[in-house]
Amino acid sequence: MTSALFALALLAALAGPVALRLYRRPDFVTGRDGRLSTSTTLALAWTVILVWLLLAVLGYGLTAGGGIDWFRGEHGPLSALTRVYLPLLGGPYLALIGAKTVVGLRVEHGTLAKPAPKPTATGRRPLRELIANDSGRTDLVDLQYVALSAVTMLYVVLFFLSDVGAGLPELPAEIWALTGAPAGAYLVNKMATRGNPVITHTAVTGDGLLTVEGGGFTDPRLTVDDTPLPAVQDPATGTLTATLPPDAKPPFTVVVTSRGLRSDPYRHTTAPAAPAAPETPDTPSAPQPAP
């Protein structure tokens, strides 16, 4: 029990500062689009878990384990390192390197749009980005990658805490598939994802002018509730603007089609912003008659 408590305290000492740093400034685990990167976050999590395991085993061996001799032997406390734990770590890192390479090449060649996210007031990113696509909708492949990786981490932590003195727990060698297979599916999904246009934000002014922000808008066609609207694109930012018909009231659905590819429907529910009141020049008040 004492060894397990020591190991838990060590895990808190390692994971706590890392989590606090990422909570305040998540730029370390964000992708080139500024959103939380699923592959980077999971690779970092597995790194923290493996460092914790090695430090906990080292601490136990030098105290309750009896010293250097405890580490020796064919069935020593680190015997499962190369058979189980390095493959567990290798899958997420292969996914990380592969995903960065694929996304970078696709963005460079114009086959994938990665629009910048809207900044938040606190500078923090929502955790939902780990399982969502660029449009903010839940991605099944990202979801299974995160969920199965979290379950595997839980297995490793609980098995180790149940018997710290045995060293790295002898998990089945096939358990690497719980991270390797989802990591492979995640990478394939990055390669297979079509370069659809992405809508990140819409706004409507009081005079009925619709503004659509996002990325991948090449020769775009804009529709609102399946009604085509002539749109003007800002060459500097790529933002689309169009005049809404008089009967278009929120909520309505905005879709952008580019090169035959259709964006995910974006539901606009915000009421139009009130037009600014015209400024009136200050006029001097009429002089009051003397009593």
Whole-number Å distance between alpha carbons of 60 and 185? 38
Provide mean pLDDT across the span 8-33: 85
Higher-confidence position of 282 and 140: 140
Question: How far from the centroid of its chain's Cα atoms is residue 218's Cα?
Answer: 25
What tokens does 167 get? 């060293």
Q: For residue 53, give the nearest of 153, 142, 135 by alpha carbon.
A: 153
Which of 108-112, 185-189, 245-249, 283-287 ranks highest by mean pLDDT?
Answer: 185-189
Whole-number Å distance between alpha carbons of 93 and 183? 9
Has residue 102 got a pLDDT over 90? no
Identify each DSSP E strand in 34-119 by its residue range.
none
Domains and CATH numbers, the chain: 2-192 (no CATH), 198-268 (2.60.40.10)
pLDDT tens per residue across span 35-78 = 788 989 999 999 999 999 999 988 888 887 666 777 776 677 88
C-alpha distances in Å from residue 195, one per residue of 44, 86, 209, 284: 28, 34, 27, 61
pLDDT tens per residue across span 203-248 = 888 788 888 988 778 788 898 888 888 888 888 878 899 888 888 7
Question: How far from the centroid of its chain's Cα atoms is residue 179's Cα?
Answer: 18
pLDDT tens per residue across span 263-281 = 878 888 877 665 555 555 5
Q: Alpha-carbon torsion 132, 127, 190, 86, what sign?
A: negative
Provide mean pLDDT across the span 151-174: 85
Kindly report the number of other CB atoms within 10 A of residue 19's CB atom: 13
How many CA atoms within 13 Å lie on the side-chain side of 219?
3
pLDDT given for residue 46 in this prediction? 92
Higher-confidence position of 166 and 97: 97
Kindly report the number of other CB atoms within 10 A of residue 222's CB atom: 23
What tokens does 55 get? 């430090």
Provide mean pLDDT across the span 184-191: 86
